[in-house]
Structure 1
Amino acid sequence: MLDVVVLVSGGGTNLQAIIDAVESESITNTRIVGVISNNKNAYALTRAKQHGIHSECISPKDYASREEFNERFLEKVDEMNPDLVVLAGFLVVIPPQMIERYRNRMINIHPSLIPAFCGKGFYGLKVHEAALERGVKVVGATVHFVDEGTDTGPIILQRAVEVCPGDTPEMLQRRVMEQAEWKILPEAIDLIANDRVKVSDGRVVITE
């Protein structure tokens, strides 16, 4: 059984996609053991509560220094003893010691086809604004392992989504969520839960 902790800052639509997939058993061998947010008003915490999942808020604002927060944050995650940590719209920089401890056991969903529109400053609507400004015809989402860089870890899954004439950033964001993010994030978790994902020379190999 794969024990998963989900980290989320906002509404938690990707969290909901994971919860729904676990409950419908399209994600197998998996249970969500906790949800952590840095935002006490995040609707994600309500979603967790509604499904009987342990949830907590831990915010950098409540600590005198970033070091103190990082230490407590890592302690909180460790207390839940996860096999996999999932970043589902989590807007806090992950401490280096946590990346090291959960090497190839922490994944992130990013709303573009990496390496396009990724890295520092590219998050949320900013990604879709940049894509529309550039005039690309295809966008999408990527699930990748987390490493020391921003959106630079080994790529697990990607899915493309077409840009439509007249798209606004909000319309494009919604379509990328519905057609890509909410599909490939649960799929990646299921692959990991069934031991089908290996990292070799910095690349992901998915086995049958």
Structure 2
Amino acid sequence: MKKIAIFASGSGTNAQKIIEYFENSRHVLVDSLWSNNENSYALIRAERLGVETFTFSRDEFYQSIDVLEELSERKIDLIVLAGFLWLVPKYLTEEFPVINIHPALLPKYGGKGMYGKFVHEAVVKNKDKVSGISIHYVNDRYDEGAIIFQTTCDLAPGDTADDVAQKVSELEHEHYPRVIEEVLFADED
């Protein structure tokens, strides 16, 4: 049984889709959801679906190894970021594979501060004809890890940032759980 830990900071729609995708799996368990935001709706979504939750402060994340110790004790195979906004410290990326989903086609619109609506507003401002998602490994720099998967959606000339967000969200929900599963079992082919 492969175990994943989800890290989320916000509303948790991707976290919910991931939990639901694996809830009847005999091969993958969503072990826990972790958040740096005690008011994150992702915590409520996870609890409703029977997934244990943890919160942590900036000091606990960056100045201690408490998170590392708990993840190691739980025998986590993969950390999945689902709207988690902090840079993951090197002590975690060296110990666990960590993957993230980004709401744009990296390397465009990546880096610190480029998340959510800020990405979609930039896409609209630049009159891009397509947008999409990038699923990538996480390293010690925002959005610079090796890309695992990308897919696109077409944009119409009148699309707003909200329209782009909706199209990208549909791609995230469709592809992220499947790609997580592929990453978990890639070394077994």
**Does the aligned pair in 2 maintain the 1:17–1:186 contact within 8 Å?**
yes
Question: Of 63, 76, 81, which aligns to 1:82?
Answer: 76
1:66 and 1:22 map into 2 onto residues whose CA distance is: 27
The secondary structure found in structure 2 opposite 1:195 is: helix
Distance 2:56 2:22 in 1: 25
What corresponds to 1:140 in structure 2? 132
- In structure 1, the partner of 2:184 is 193
How far, CA to CA, are the matches of 1:67 and 1:114 in structure 2?
26
Following TM superposition, by how much is the alpha carbon of 1:184 offset from its aligned partner in structure 2, in angstroms?
1.8
Amino acid at match of 1:193: L
> In structure 2, do the counterparts of structure 1 residues 32 and 134 end up closer, same or farther at CA, with 3 Å as the change threshold?
same
Q: What's the counterpart of residue 87 of structure 2? A: 93
Conservation of the 8 A alpha-carbon contact between 1:143 and 1:158:
yes
- Whole-angstrom distance in 2 between the partners of 1:59 and 1:21: 29
- What residue identity is the alignment partner of 1:14? N
8 Å Cα contact 2:87-2:141 kept in structure 1: no
1:29-74 superposed Cα distances (whole Å, 9 cap, x missing partner): 21101100011111111111111111111122xx4x8742x53333
Change (3 A) 1:107 1:123: same
Identity of aligned residues (%): 37
Q: Which amino acid aligns with 2:74?
A: M
Match of 1:58 among 56, 59, 63: 56
Quick one: structure 1 residues 196 and 75, their matched pair in 2 at CA, closer, same or farther if it must change by over 3 Å? Answer: closer
Task: Specify every segment of 5 or more residues in structure 1 that has no aligned partner in the other structure, as ranges.
Answer: 198-206
Taking structure 2 as the reference length, the TM-score comes to 0.92
TM-score by length of 1: 0.84
Q: Which of 159, 168, 173 pairs up with 1:167?
A: 159
Please give the per-residue CA displacement for 1:131-152, whole angstroms capped at 9, x wherever unaligned.
1111110000011111122111
The one-letter code sitting in structure 2 at the alignment partner of 1:192 is V
Aligned length, in residue pairs? 189
The equivalent position to 1:125 in structure 2, one of 95, 114, 117, is: 117
3-state SS of 1:92 partner = coil
Contact 1:141 1:176 (C-alpha < 8 Å) held by counterparts:
yes
In the alignment, what sits opposite 2:31?
A: 33
Q: Kindly report the root-mean-square deviation, in angstroms, between the aligned alpha carbons of the 2 structures.
A: 1.9
